[in-house]
Amino acid sequence: MAEFLEALRDPHFPLLRYALAAGLLASVAFGIVGCYVVTRRISYIAAAVSHCVLGGIGAGLYLQTVVGLAWCDPLYGAIGAALAAAVAIGLISLYARQREDTVISAIWTIGMAAGLLFLYKTPGYAEPMVYLFGDILYLTAHDLWLIAGLDVLIVVLALGLYNKFLAICFDEEFARLRGVRAEWLYVLLLCLTALCVVLMVRVVGIVMVIALLTLPAAMAGQLTRQLWQMMLVAVLMCMVFVTAGLALSFILDLPTGPVIVSLAAVGYLLAAVAGRVRLRRVG
């Protein structure tokens, strides 16, 4: 532990600080949006959106390296692809009459396939593993600013429309009868989810990011009585998992993303067991 704290303070080694900052910033958005995703029961759809992000990353890298658009950071591509996938998948799940899961799975895999093809055609160090499973070695100060900006945007929208999101998560039809534009909010929620994925691409990677979105929220849901409390607890849990995961991966020399997600999974299992035991005692 001491060596982790030492490394955090090391002026010649900013990566660990960047990773911690990115993780803590992202935790705020993850805790809040994750609670909506869990209570609205759209984890599967959120997972589809997150995987499509690879297509955008690949396109971004390709445009930057091969086409020569120097400004085109892969994270910009990720943002574009994430939003496009969120809108497409949102509209399909709203309006497709049948087999929506088939269509969504197809978009999920098409997004990944496009990403892998772009990465293959991009010369240099574009290694798919880096984006699929995250690697904090690639974090830059520029990424951090982007993450902070997106984080603020997500949190303002997600909390500003709290009552409306709560209403559509609880009873969408009633909300619509009260004049709430439920379809718009649903697509907006998917867009916020998509942007969350972008926040943590560098640290956790797109394959595992959904676990960090849903597990802290699911844990928090067992402990709380109101949605805002659930969000608060989920944010704190997420921060704990990210910090502990970073420390553990540094000390044990393991990849960061999988350690963070494993910790979240263990935490969730413990909470679920504790919840069962408590229920049995009450009953």
Partner 1 sequence: MADEPVIDVCDVSFAYGAAPVLEDVSFQVGPHELICMVGPNGGGKTTLVRLLLGLLRPGRGRIRVLGRPPERARLRVGYMPQHVDHDPQFPVTALDIVLMGRLGRGGLRKALGWYDRADRRAALEALDMVDMTPAARQTYATLSGGQRQRVLIARALCGGPELLLLDEPTANVDALGESRLMDILKRLSRRMSVVTVSHDLGLVSDLVERVICVNRRVVVHPTSHMTGQVFEDLYGAKQRVVEHGEVTPGGPGDG
Q: Is residue 166 at the binding interface for partner 1, with CB under 8 A as the rule?
A: yes
Calpha distance 173→137 (Å, rounded): 46
Contact region with partner 1 (CB under 8 A), list: 14-22, 155-163, 243-251, 265-273 = 155-163
Nearest to 30, CA basis, from 270, 186, 261, 247: 261
For the bound state, the minimum distance from the C-beta of residue 231 to partner 1, rounded and expressed in Å, comes to: 9
Choices 15-23, 68-76, 117-125, 158-166; region in contact with partner 1 by CB under 8 A: 158-166
Among 92, 169, 204, 263, binds partner 1 (CB under 8 A): 169
How would you classify residue 98: left for phi > 0, otherwise alpha for psi between -120 and 50, otherwise beta?
A: beta
Segment lying near partner 1 (by CB under 8 A), choices 62-70, 93-101, 125-133, 218-226: 218-226
Q: Is residue 39 a contact residue for partner 1 (CB under 8 A)? A: yes
Size of the site for partner 1 (CB under 8 A): 27
Q: Which of 199, 230, 238, 261 binds partner 1 (CB under 8 A)?
A: 230
Look-up: residue for tokens 């996938």?
A: 85
- State the Cα–Cα distance between residues 232 and 254, nearest whole angstrom: 29
- Residue type at 93 in one-letter notation: S
Alpha carbon distance 102, 115 (integer Å): 20
Spatial separation of the C-alpha atoms in residues 218 and 220, rounded to whole Å: 5
- Contact between 93 and partner 1 per CB under 8 A: no
Of positions 180, 206, 235, 260, contacts partner 1 by CB under 8 A: 180
Of 221, 245, 257, 267, the one binding partner 1 (CB under 8 A) is: 221
Instruction: Report how far residue 278's alpha carbon sits from residue 222's, in angstroms, rounded to the nearest whole number.
Output: 11
Cβ proximity of 196 and 211 under 8 Å: no
Residue 216 interacting with partner 1 (CB under 8 A): no
Residues that bind partner 1 (CB under 8 A): 39, 41, 160-164, 166-167, 169-171, 173-175, 177-180, 221-222, 224-227, 229-230
